[in-house]
Amino acid sequence: MAPASASIAAPVGARPRVLIVDDSAVARAVLTRMAEGAACTVAHAATNIAGALQFLACESVDVILLDLEMPGIHGLAGLPDILAAGAGARVLVVSSAAADGAAATVEALALGAADTLVKPGNCLSSGSFAAALAEKLVRLGERSEPAIRTLAAPSDTLHEVDAVAIGASTGGIHAINTLLTALPPAFRRPIVITQHLPAAFVPFFAEQLGAATGRSCVLATDGMLLRDDMIAVAPGDAHLMATRMAGGVIGIRLSRAPVANGNMPSVDPMFESFAACFGKRLLAVVLSGMGRDGLAGARRVRAAGGTVVVQDQASSVVWGMPGAVAAEGLAQAVLPPEAIGSFIIDGARVFA
């Protein structure tokens, strides 16, 4: 189920309307206080999925704060109905960092939840959790006017592709799944991915992506050779970079060096290093996400003659990362994820 891109709940500039779905009375009270402190309006606090669906049948909201671990209908089982009834509301999943919670959260993100927030182990009312929640609620609740996008010159020549590098953040897991499942089995070029995600969740993301695509999907390790028929995902605590190894083969190097944008892992060093190794035969993709990570890297990709494609605003949960690249005129195409899959095959003329 693709997440809808717009909600009629609040006009541009209005306080975002929030629906809280949590079986704990204490959690509902604490989350309500935090959301209202973040200049949001809590429209309703439901105790279960059924109550949330009943409310959504009559009312619209911008953000749904969903606890996955509830009795009765589990949050994950009810998510498709919540997405449908929400009519464009962004779903922020709250879960534990334990293995079961992490796996369920990654599955929820693949189904179309917009973002995730890990519950603190001891105190829900901790200051760091409140600050993180406030930032996510405000960002997910923003309603902006359509942005003007600028495409790179149509005369630019597209090249045969030897590698695909994908960067994403908020809303990216669903977009990555959609893009990669649109690729036919005959596509064999290596694919590398940097997705902003808590480190504990990344192994479950790689496992979920492998199951969804039927391709070999692994966590990148230092010194790993880049080969056809592989998807390599950056670990949550290191940048995934390309390096030329002995004999001229290209491998993966992991780096924990700080970068200007502050992200770990970051899309920029991935794009920059792959542009240095592959030049015009690299295709870089920027999907839904907050901020501007990937912009500096996209500049390097274009300077090296490579191809840059970004996700369109309509299908993005947050058009920060792709929007920044498009606004600077670096994108040769602005497309929804499923069309990016087709572009990789048809537009960039990749040959198996």
**Annotated catalytic residue: which of 196, 239, 266, 315?**
196
Question: pTM of whole model > 0.85?
Answer: yes
Q: Domain span at residue 168? A: 163-347
Q: Is 196 an annotated catalytic residue?
A: yes
243 assigned to some structural domain: yes
CATH label of the domain that carries residue 31? 3.40.50.2300
**Annotated catalytic residue: which of 67, 115, 162, 293?**
293
6 assigned to some structural domain: no
CATH label of the domain that carries residue 256? 3.40.50.180
Q: Is 74 an annotated catalytic residue?
A: no
The number of domains in the chain is 2
Each residue's pLDDT tens digit, 190-206: 999 999 999 999 999 99
151 assigned to some structural domain: no
152 assigned to some structural domain: no
Answer yes or no: do 127 and 168 share one domain.
no
**Annotated catalytic residue: which of 169, 266, 273, 288?**
169
Answer yes or no: do 323 and 189 share one domain.
yes
Q: Is 290 within 8 Å of 262 (Cβ atoms)?
A: no
Smallest Cα–Cα separation from 329: which of 291, 289, 293, 302? 302
189 assigned to some structural domain: yes
Q: What is the DSSP letter of 315?
A: T
148 assigned to some structural domain: no
Answer yes or no: do 241 and 97 share one domain.
no
Each residue's pLDDT tens digit, 282-327: 999 999 999 999 999 999 999 999 999 999 999 999 999 999 999 9
303 assigned to some structural domain: yes
Answer yes or no: do 251 and 332 share one domain.
yes
| Residue 297: predicted pLDDT | 98
Taking 50 as the pLDDT cut, the residues of the chain under it are: 1-9, 145, 148, 153-156, 350-352
Smallest Cα–Cα separation from 106: which of 200, 216, 214, 178? 200
Alpha-carbon gap, residue 102 to 201, rounded angstroms: 5
